[in-house]
Amino acid sequence: MALLPVLCYPDPRLHKVAKPVAQVDARIKKIVADMAETMYDAPGVGLAATQVDIHERILVIDVSENQDALMVFINPELVWASTEKKSWREGCLSVPEYYDEVDRPDVIHVKALDQNGKEFEIEADGLLSVCLQHEMDHLRGKVFVEYLSILKRNRISLKMKKRAKELASQR
């Protein structure tokens, strides 16, 4: 397993649309293991392959309190979403140190493959619902800050660019 570098907003690679995984094989299983290690190390509760510059439809999520219940979603599809919305304070490993409120459907139903290529379906609410929607957005090339006002987005973009320059100058 290996830690993967996480892309930071406004990196244009975060806007690439991920392609479906054709076959769950040893390569995909290694990507899943590396993504899980990266997510836990960050620490985070979810990570999309897009965030680590792999443009395939793969997500890892663990919203458990002890971070011991890894969930893998390969080629996830939103089957159904409730009309009732709920607002959650979201953060993102690609937008470090920034959190804001985002309205999303409260309950969703998702179909996907697990890390062994077996199809499953899940109905999610609460944090799992939010996390799934957030990570599935990444696979479509969308970052959560795009739900915010243009003013907030521009401010975040400038802060992230400044942060990147500071980190680069420290190396």
Query: How far, CA to CA in Å, does 152 sit from each of 60, 114, 127, 149, 157?
Result: 28, 36, 24, 5, 9
Q: How many CA atoms lie within 13 A of 106 on its CB side?
A: 5
Residues β-bridged to residue 77: 111
1, pLDDT greater than 80: no
171, pLDDT greater than 90: no
Residues taking part in catalysis: 135
Q: Which residues make up each annotated binding site for Fe cation?
A: 92, 134, 138
| Domains within the chain, CATH numbers bracketed | 12-170 (3.90.45.10)
Q: Does the reported pTM lie above 0.75?
A: yes
Query: How far, CA to CA in Å, does 42 sit from each of 35, 46, 93, 150?
Result: 11, 10, 7, 28
Percentage of the chain lying above the pLDDT 90 cut? 91
Q: Which residues make up each annotated binding site?
A: 92, 134, 138
